Structure 1
Amino acid sequence: MTTAILPQLAGGLFLSDGGLETTLVYLDGVALPCFAAFPLLKDEAGRERLRRYYRPYLQLCADTPRAGFVLETATWRANADWGHLLGYDAAELAQANIDAVRLLHGLRAEWRSRLTGPLVLSGVIGPRGDGYVADAPDSVEDAMGYHLPQAAALRDGGVDMLAAVTMTSSAEAVGIARAANEVDLPLAISFTVETDGRLPSGESLREAMAIVDADSPPAYFSVNCAHPTHFSAGLVEGGDWARRIRGFRANASTLSHAELDVATELDTGDPVDLAGHYQRLRIPLPALNVLGGCCGTDVRHLRAIRDTWIH
């Protein structure tokens, strides 16, 4: 594991953004083939569209004394299989990941003086599959080899850390953890869970985290693309393993992944109710301090979460 120290490990509140892809598609009317945001980096109009997405969240952080911000790249789909479907070769895909980081460097320069807490640049690595099904890769070794080129490109772009997001199995998470070690970057691993609190692979959250920690421990763990009600019951027993969870990016909706996959309208839920669920996680997850959103969330949800958290 890299020896680099992330500021969020020292505690304090860190905010992040919401559901990038769902906001662009359903609220802004932006077409995202394969649900991929990284092709927007191809031209200035697309890059400005991404900047406009990030800025309200950065403003929310600027309005929150002493809060830090984890600014994440639009690269959830920027890996080889999805890139191939979108017509990218390996060199073009690597450049897209680098360009995504450069966009964030520009935003950090723009906002650094307005924030009173640290601003961390996080390079997002998504699953090889669709994020709802544990269908690939077949082994830890396959996962490491598959994800290493993206990890290297994000490093070359100049991220502070990597984030493995919407992980559906411990095997893929371990592979990315090994890739992060190879490029010498700290890593946050974020698992997704079904309505029964288990990963799509069938593993419990605790089991998956233990497998990763036994092989290549990340800086911390997170949960994303799930509503708090989907996994909160499994936290009742507590324990040291729960203290490894620092981040949470909830879905606005209580629907299952299968239901969301066929939905034709965006379910934005109730921002205030969602914020209350975040607040109730503070007891079973005492280290939780990196707060963002996932599918269906936007700046309204993050504002409600922030307001509930600090009051």
Structure 2
Amino acid sequence: MPTLPWLDPDRTTPLLEALDQRILVLDGAMGTMIQAHALDEAGYRGERFAEGGDEALALEQKGNNDLLTLSQPALIRDVHRAYLEAGADLVETNTFNSTALSQADYGTQALVGELNREAARLAREACDAATAATPGKPRFVVGVIGPTSRTASISPDVNNPGFRATSFEELVDNYSEAVAGLVDGGSDLLMVETVFDTLNAKAALFALAQEFERRGGRLPVAVSGTITDRSGRTLSGQTAEAFWYSVAHAQPLFIGLNCALGAKDLRAHVDVLSHVATAHISCHPNAGLPNAFGGYDETPEQMAGTLRQFAEAGLLNLVGGCCGTTPEHIRAIAGAMDGLPPRAIPQTEAAA
């Protein structure tokens, strides 16, 4: 079967060219930036969903960060702008939990299509403005597809190991709705991220393939997994190498690791991916491990220094930050990457 054409070659070509030229910088944590605002219930609802209003929601919304795309769009736009000004080449949409399964916790499943479309549109506006200001440095929108709050491989009930809280088919339906919104909103690429269960990721990749076939074209796809602890495995039990071989069929533009661990603890696993993967390699770790209060203590300078060592070893094509990172972290990381060449991609697994 012939490869589907790009949906928008005018946006895709600059991305591919940029990856050939330098190490690209992803943005940092959205949740960390939102938490700094210390929003209460009214803050999460905004005017649109204010209690007693025409679109009032029955359940408590505090903590539903994705809803802020609709209730506080200026806040989300400002987060994107801050990361772009700090040096990010790519910003991620505020859609980590924008699937029906995850939004069910807040009773907002009916908003999923709009959440994804508007989140991509906000990121698109921010990137277009930044590109216009610096024409020689195009910026790109990463449509984020999170893992959902359910796992297809592991039972949530220790007394019933055969039970599953979701199914492959339900996940595909969830992801299909999210993907359609992210594409319609103007994403440049789509990233299945924070993968703790590879079966969930496979459902997302299947949904992507279906949507691309329906539209007669495809966007670049990326996959980023999560090594859950120092055992070196995902929650569903895979090593970094096994993870790559499980998703390689999707021909991702880049594959990487994010969340759970800090950069220092991810080094060995990124090294493995770099040697086996015939795709670009990304890494956006946490700002260290959480402290006793759930905060993150790794400074921008510490994190940038560690990630520079990754780049000097030829391991990286894209780099950014996850939990606990801020525009200051991204500014330091971008500075640390300056002048360092991107990793050379092996042509075949045998060559790796």
The TM-score range, normalised by the shorter chain, is 0.7 to 0.9
Distance in 1, Cα, partners of 2:180 & 2:123 = 17
Relative to 1, partners in 2 of residues 1:2 and 1:165: Cα closer, same or farther, differing over 3 Å?
farther
Relative to 1, partners in 2 of residues 1:52 and 1:239: Cα closer, same or farther, differing over 3 Å?
closer
Report 1:104-143 matches (<5 A).
104-115=123-134, 116-129=136-149, 140-143=168-171
Structure 1 stretch displaced more, 29-38 or 220-229: 29-38
Contact 2:240 2:272 in 1 (8 A): no
Distance in 1, Cα, partners of 2:233 & 2:69 = 35
Code of the aligned partner of 1:246: I
Code of the aligned partner of 1:94: G
Which whole-Å deviations, capped at 9, do the CAs of 1:66-96 have from their partners, x for residues lacking one? xx71121100011112212222133x21011
Contact 2:274 2:281 in 1 (8 A): no
Contact 1:94 1:150 in 2 (8 A): yes
Distance in 2, Cα, partners of 1:284 & 1:146 = 39
Post-superposition offset of 1:102:
1.5
- SS for the counterpart of 2:311 is coil
Post-superposition offset of 1:110:
2.2
| Residue identity (%) | 24
Post-superposition offset of 1:137:
7.1
Distance in 1, Cα, partners of 2:165 & 2:312 = 35
Code of the aligned partner of 1:14: L
1:30 aligns with 2:64: no
Relative to 1, partners in 2 of residues 1:239 and 1:37: Cα closer, same or farther, differing over 3 Å?
closer
Aligned to 1:205: 240
- SS for the counterpart of 2:281 is strand
Post-superposition offset of 1:296:
0.5
Aligned to 2:26: 16
Which whole-Å deviations, capped at 9, do the CAs of 1:271-309 have from their partners, x for residues lacking one? 2121122112125553x2222111001011112212222
1:220 aligns with 2:248: no
**Structure 1 residue ranges without an equivalent (≥5):** 62-67
- SS for the counterpart of 1:282 is helix
Code of the aligned partner of 1:28: H
Relative to 1, partners in 2 of residues 1:141 and 1:89: Cα closer, same or farther, differing over 3 Å?
closer
Q: 2:175 aligns with which of 147, 165, 171?
A: 147
Contact 1:139 1:171 in 2 (8 A): no
Which whole-Å deviations, capped at 9, do the CAs of 1:235-280 have from their partners, x for residues lacking one? 556764245342211100234xxxx7xx534223122121122112
Distance in 1, Cα, partners of 2:186 & 2:270 = 35
- SS for the counterpart of 1:293 is coil
Report 1:260-271 matches (<5 A).
264-271=293-300
Report 1:281-296 matches (<5 A).
281-282=310-311, 286=315, 288-296=316-324
Aligned to 2:224: 190
- SS for the counterpart of 1:297 is coil
1:101 aligns with 2:136: no
Post-superposition offset of 1:176:
1.2
Which whole-Å deviations, capped at 9, do the CAs of 1:8-57 have from their partners, x for residues lacking one? 543423222211102211x33235757432211223xx111112212222
Contact 2:196 2:236 in 1 (8 A): yes
**TM-score, normalization: structure 2?**
0.74
1:180 aligns with 2:200: no
Aligned to 1:64: none
Distance in 2, Cα, partners of 1:75 & 1:241 = 30
Distance in 2, Cα, partners of 1:238 & 1:17 = 21
Contact 1:22 1:266 in 2 (8 A): no
**TM-score, normalization: structure 1?**
0.83
Distance in 1, Cα, partners of 2:199 & 2:312 = 29
- Greater radius of gyration (CA): 2
Relative to 1, partners in 2 of residues 1:69 and 1:17: Cα closer, same or farther, differing over 3 Å?
same
Post-superposition offset of 1:203:
0.5
Structure 1 stretch displaced more, 149-158 or 230-239: 230-239
Distance in 1, Cα, partners of 2:143 & 2:188 = 8
Contact 1:220 1:244 in 2 (8 A): yes
Report 1:209-288 matches (<5 A).
209-213=244-248, 215-225=249-259, 226-235=261-270, 240-242=275-277, 244-255=279-290, 264-282=293-311, 286=315, 288=316
Relative to 1, partners in 2 of residues 1:221 and 1:51: Cα closer, same or farther, differing over 3 Å?
same
Contact 2:101 2:150 in 1 (8 A): no
1:50 aligns with 2:76: yes
Q: 2:328 aligns with which of 287, 290, 300?
A: 300
Q: Work out the number of aligned pairs and report it.
A: 292
1:70 aligns with 2:85: no
Aligned to 2:193: 165
